[in-house]
Amino acid sequence: MSRPKSRILIADDQPDVLAALRLLLKGEGYETESADSPGAILAAVEERDFDAILMDLNYARDTTSGQEGLDLLARIQMLDGTVPVMVMTAWGSVELAVEAMRRGARDFIQKPWENARLLAILRNQIDLAQALRTSQRLEAENRLLRAEGRPVLIAEAPAMRPVLDLIARIGPSDANVLITGANGTGKGVVAQTLHAVSGRADRPLITVNTGGHAAAAALETGGAAAVRWVRNASFVEVVVEDEGPGLSSTANLFVPFFTTKPGGSGIGLVLSRHIAEAHGGSLTLQNRPAARGCEARLRLPR
């Protein structure tokens, strides 16, 4: 059985450089995809898996500092911490190489490159990354086998294999994850499984049922609640709307131990906002401007 072709993302703002890399890598049996801007790089990494990334450090005209590429490294690491990134520049220095490696680059390639050296680095980094991913997947599976007191994710159908592989790949990372699906499809079990294979598995998993709170508020007065979500290139936003009585005041909503709910503790909203802000997001709650009820918005960066 032949080994699947490795998929490489090549990124540079110069068409001639992209063409040369495509020709070189095609001759070695690699599949390639091109990107010519930081935005295109991030979009490609968000949409597809790559075995390696060859990325220039400069994209703006007359820029030689490499700062654009250095900033990109951190964002790529957040999206996929296992993909090896090799950075390239014609304006290299020891200081720039050290900083790139510190931010997550696996190697530094000076332009114009030597074909033999570039190919050797690429092969080695792909092999190392595949070994790392295999190790993480096995460790994740072992954690699941050792899990006690948590729902077990049983998924033997072939259609679930990609889901399990995705959980094993992103579980050890610090990526924000939005799980969508109809009621009863197992979103909660997937969330607990992600926590079980993460680096925080020995710490509590805190759940906040914002949809449930909205539904309870609405049903008390015969209304309804709805949940929708908005996604674009920079953020994901979950919006919960209810048709309940609304808020008499929004002044102290996020003040600890302040509550207007009988039997409430006053820490649920405070804790929810703290969690959102810890992940670079936000949580807002207000009366709906053109309808009866409340609106909660949870926004997290992509």
Q: List all residues 6 or more positions away from 107 whose beta carbon is below 8 Å from its beta carbon.
A: 84, 86, 87, 121, 125
* Domain 7-134 indexed as CATH 3.40.50.2300: yes
CATH homologous superfamily, domain 210-301: Histidine kinase-like ATPase, C-terminal domain (3.30.565.10)
Give pLDDT tens digits for 218-262.
555 556 667 777 888 788 888 888 777 777 777 777 776 666 665
Tokens of 150: 């948590």
Instruction: Report the C-alpha gap between 119 and 132 in whole angstroms.
Output: 20
Task: Label the pairing between strands 294-301 and 282-287.
Answer: antiparallel
Residue for token pair 């250095």: 70
Domain boundary assignment for the chain: 7-134, 147-196, 210-301
pLDDT tens for the chain, residues 1 to 302: 445 688 999 999 899 999 999 999 999 999 999 999 888 999 998 888 899 999 988 887 656 677 888 888 888 888 887 889 999 888 767 777 778 888 888 888 888 899 999 999 999 999 888 887 777 777 766 665 555 555 566 677 787 778 877 887 787 777 778 787 776 777 888 888 888 878 777 777 777 665 555 555 555 555 666 777 788 878 888 888 877 777 777 777 777 666 666 555 566 777 778 888 888 888 888 888 777 777 888 888 87
For residues 151 and 189, is the Cβ–Cβ distance under 8 A? Answer: yes
Question: Strands of 31-35's sheet, edge to edge?
Answer: 31-35, 7-11, 52-56, 85-89, 107-110
Give pLDDT tens digits for 140-153.
666 655 555 555 66
